[in-house]
């Protein structure tokens, strides 16, 4: 007979006698420690068959290796500080673009004693791990780059990053634009590009709109870095040398406009992330003696009693002590419908009370709330370079010098081989330099990746870095833990069969009245099932209640003795019959736990209880199949239970009787057979398998700090459909990244051809570069609205 296993992992094998009469035998297994310092624990519903499956290991496919490479790079960022290294943080207001990041990298990484650099472009923060006696040399190096670093005290919360475009910068940009247009107009009307009026307008434009670009170009040249600012400065300087003053001013002005638009686009992403962190109110209503006082959330200690009213946001993570309320948890878990909360339930900071009033006890300080951990994880994730970004950076490292070299060849060899003036060929070389600027390539990836990370967080999916956002598209198989992921993770009454003349509802009432006195999970499930069937009925009075050791319970109701227990109870009472045995066999083969209600005359009713499938799980499995991903179910339950649940979900590959190490072996075998594998579990019990999978996805992570810390992807609620949502987002992100690279390179190829044929002008080149940059930025920003724009789930790509 199938048995229900609800034993805690630190208990020895025993038989329950808790008032349910121990209908079920329990088994204990040692569980090894796992990643993140958490101990793994097995709490599957139904008994474990002790058969370990040795699937072996093996090498992974290329897709699996690609994810592993990204994982290694990402985890390198999450590692503790390098041994013996000190840590210093700076706010760098002048760092708002990957170009500045690369400039800083080139400068600092070449310094002896620098161990690691972590960048957060959105918050304009730089963290340096070093082994220097005096960190002042780091600040001095940043000052030489005109980065204006500001030291941040350890543990301090820095002020918000300044707005991307200051009022002064807007005014200077407007002045520069008017002057540049004026220079072009005067040059076109008079036909004199070297007149003093054109030169004055051009100089005004260069000094107002173009001075930041020219200054950064000089810094790049001084540090032997060939970046976009150097190329633009070179183009402007060359145009001035050959007397093209109006074009020099227009080149620099148009570049400044493109840069300003890119900054505003990044500001939009920054504000989207900040909106998550600012969901929690700044004050809480705290109990002080007999009064309720307004208090800043930073000052509220764990254990304080707070009150949250209708329409208010929950200020801190807390546990309900009294009252009932409905809460909108969408900002945290992505759930679309309000969730009812009562005494003992967890509240998350940032949730909105839509109806009711509750008093709650604070369980975490403001800086350690689930919301704060989510915001911190997003910031950490966006600071890490995704695989595509690393590729683009490497490409630009060789691409830019090659373009400069080609331009030099054009200037030197053009007049010698094809004739013409030196000034004419210099002009064509300058056009080539501007067109070939890698700006569009460099900015396309971070904007797209951060937009994807933010969209996922809004939807209740926390992705721990660009490596995993991009890696999701490579998954070929997804292994899903059964209990708590595909099923509810607790037994429920599924069958009630009456024998003889007794109405089935009467039998359920008698059984619930007996089990009301028990604390066993099966007993609680039976009572809960009765309440759903008969919400307005009351329980019957039970007299002479007692436990039948190892078999069940007994009691007297209305003068009649009743016994409620397992198959062995029926055998001991001598009530076996072919009809009963047939019914028991049907339920047990379906992976259900059976309970029999007996009177003195014999069995009168039979009940089946089992862990039931979540209503979303069928859609989740179907969604994975629609993405051409093979779903596999792994469980510690016996094979009959595993097969019964798998058949309901349409999963062909279902593996039962697996301990944590067995699941780990199954993941290794799946990787060898299929390639890249994702594992979906609870983040604790399944931690060994999550660690071995190419991407580990933890379910129900909102209330589990361990899952937030150790999982590669954390789904904040218990909706398994979001696994397919994540993979669909990953595929769309990859699609947009490919579009951006194709756009950036395609536009440059077309205009390079025009330049080589002498058809392109300098300002046309800037328009091409600016247009490519803006196209890829706006295309990447489309990911911010991925889930809102696609009302239906499971979109694979755009």
- Report the catalytic residues: 481
Length of the chain, please? 798
Query: How far is CA 60 from each of CA 64, 68, 625, 673, rounded to the nearest angstrom?
Result: 6, 9, 22, 8
Instruction: Produce one character per residue of 54-78: b if its CB has 16 or more CB atoms within 10 Å, e if not.
Output: ebeeeebbebbebbbebbebbeebe
CB 355 within 8 A of CB 318: no
Of 61, 68, 71, nearest in space to 675 by CA: 61
Please return the burial class of 618, using the count of CB atoms within 10 Å of its CB with bins 0-12, 13-18 and 19+. middle
CB 548 within 8 A of CB 563: yes
- Give the dihedral of Cα atoms 364, 374, 267, 81; nearest 10 deg: 90
- Structure-token pair, residue 786: 């991925």
What contacts 661, CB < 8 A, 6 or more positions away? Answer: 32, 52, 688
- Structure-token pair, residue 379: 């910031």
Helix/strand/coil (H/E/C) assignment for every residue in 603-645 = EEEEEEEEEEECHHHHHHHHHHHHCCCEEEEECCCCHHHHHHH
- Structure-token pair, residue 362: 């604070």
- Between CA 658 and CA 44 the distance in angstroms is 10
Termini Cα distance of the chain: 51
Name beta bridge partners: 609.
Answer: 493, 593
Please return the burial class of 329, using the count of CB atoms within 10 Å of its CB with bins 0-12, 13-18 and 19+. buried
What contacts 714, CB < 8 A, 6 or more positions away? Answer: 377, 461, 462, 464, 683, 697, 698, 701, 707, 708
Compute how many other C-beta atoms are within 10 angstroms of the C-beta atom of residue 312: 16
CB 269 within 8 A of CB 785: no
Ramachandran sector of residue 420 (left: φ over 0; alpha: ψ -120 to 50; beta: rest):
left
């Amino acid at each position: 007979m199938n048995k229900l296993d609800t034993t805690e992992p630190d208990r020895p094998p025993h038989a329950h006698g808790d008032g349910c009469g121990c209908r079920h035998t329990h088994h204990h297994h040692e569980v090894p420690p796992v990643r993140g310092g958490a101990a793994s624990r097995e709490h599957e519903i139904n008994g474990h068959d002790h058969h370990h499956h040795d699937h072996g290991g093996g090498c992974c496919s290329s897709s699996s290796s690609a994810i592993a490479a990204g994982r290694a790079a990402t985890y390198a960022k999450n590692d503790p500080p390098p041994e013996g290294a000190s840590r210093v943080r700076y706010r760098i207001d002048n760092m708002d673009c990957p170009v500045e990041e690369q400039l800083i990298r080139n400068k600092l990484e070449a310094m002896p004693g620098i161990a690691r650099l972590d960048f957060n472009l959105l918050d304009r923060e730089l963290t340096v791990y070093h082994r220097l006696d005096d960190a002042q040399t780091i600040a001095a190096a940043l000052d030489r780059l005109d980065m204006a670093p500001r030291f941040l005290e350890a543990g301090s919360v820095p002020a918000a990053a300044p707005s991307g475009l200051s009022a002064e910068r807007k005014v200077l940009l407007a002045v520069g634009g008017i002057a540049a247009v004026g220079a072009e107009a005067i040059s076109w009307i008079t036909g004199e590009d070297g007149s003093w009026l054109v030169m004055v307008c051009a100089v005004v434009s260069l000094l107002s709109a173009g001075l930041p670009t020219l200054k950064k170009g000089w810094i790049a040249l001084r540090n032997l870095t060939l970046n976009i600012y150097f190329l633009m400065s070179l183009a402007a300087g060359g145009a001035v040398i050959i007397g093209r003053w109006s074009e020099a001013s227009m080149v620099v002005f148009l570049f400044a406009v493109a840069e300003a638009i890119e900054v505003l686009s990044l500001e939009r992403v920054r504000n989207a992330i900040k909106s998550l962190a600012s969901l929690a109110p700044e004050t809480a209503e705290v109990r002080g003696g007999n009064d309720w006082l307004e208090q800043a959330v930073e000052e509220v200690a764990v254990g304080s009693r707070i009150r949250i009213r209708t329409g208010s946001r929950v200020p801190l993570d807390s546990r309900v002590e009294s009252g009932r309320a409905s809460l909108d948890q969408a900002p945290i878990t992505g759930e679309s419908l309000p969730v009812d909360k009562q005494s003992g339930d967890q509240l998350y900071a940032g949730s909105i009370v839509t109806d009711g009033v509750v008093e709650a006890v604070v369980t975490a300080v403001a800086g350690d709330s689930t919301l704060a951990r989510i915001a911190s994880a997003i910031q950490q994730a966006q600071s890490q370079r995704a695989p595509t970004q690393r590729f683009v950076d490497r490409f630009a490292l060789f691409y830019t010098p090659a373009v400069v070299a080609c331009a030099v060849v054009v200037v030197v060899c053009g007049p010698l081989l094809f004739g013409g003036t030196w000034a004419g060929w210099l002009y064509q070389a300058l056009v080539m330099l501007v067109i070939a600027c890698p700006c569009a390539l460099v900015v396309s990836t971070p904007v797209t990746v951060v937009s994807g990370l933010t969209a996922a967080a809004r939807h209740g999916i926390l992705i721990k870095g660009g490596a995993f956002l991009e890696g999701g598209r490579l998954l070929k198989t997804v292994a899903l833990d059964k209990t708590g992921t595909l099923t509810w993770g607790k037994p429920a009454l599924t069958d009630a069969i009456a024998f003889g003349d007794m109405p089935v509802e009467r039998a359920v009432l008698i059984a619930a009245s007996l089990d009301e006195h028990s604390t066993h999970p099966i007993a609680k499930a039976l009572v809960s099932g009765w309440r759903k069937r008969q919400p307005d009925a009351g329980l019957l009075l039970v007299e002479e209640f007692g436990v039948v050791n190892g078999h069940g319970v007994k009691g007297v109701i209305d003068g009649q003795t009743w016994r409620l227990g397992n198959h062995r109870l029926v055998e001991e009472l001598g009530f076996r019959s072919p009809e009963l045995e047939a019914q028991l066999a049907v339920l047990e083969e379906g992976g259900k736990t059976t309970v029999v209600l007996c009177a003195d005359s014999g069995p009168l009713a039979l009940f089946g209880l089992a862990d039931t499938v979540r209503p979303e799980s069928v859609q989740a499995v179907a969604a994975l199949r629609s993405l051409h991903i093979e779903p596999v179910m792994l469980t510690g339950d016996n094979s009959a239970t595993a097969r019964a649940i798998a058949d309901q979900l349409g999963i062909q590959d279902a593996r039962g009787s697996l301990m944590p190490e067995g699941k780990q072996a199954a993941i290794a075998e799946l990787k060898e057979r299929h390639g890249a594998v994702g594992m979906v579990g609870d983040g604790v019990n399944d931690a060994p398998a999550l660690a071995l999978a190419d991407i580990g996805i933890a379910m129900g992570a909102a209330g589990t700090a361990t899952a937030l810390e150790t999982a590669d992807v954390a789904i904040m609620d218990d909706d398994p459909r979001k696994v397919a949502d994540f993979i669909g987002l990953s595929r769309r992100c990859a699609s947009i990244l490919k579009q951006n690279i194709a756009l950036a390179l395609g536009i440059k190829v077309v205009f390079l051809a025009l330049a080589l044929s002498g058809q392109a002008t300098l300002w046309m080149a800037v328009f091409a570069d600016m247009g490519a940059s803006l196209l890829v930025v706006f295309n990447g920003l489309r990911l911010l609205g991925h889930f809102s724009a696609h009302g239906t789930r499971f979109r694979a790509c755009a």
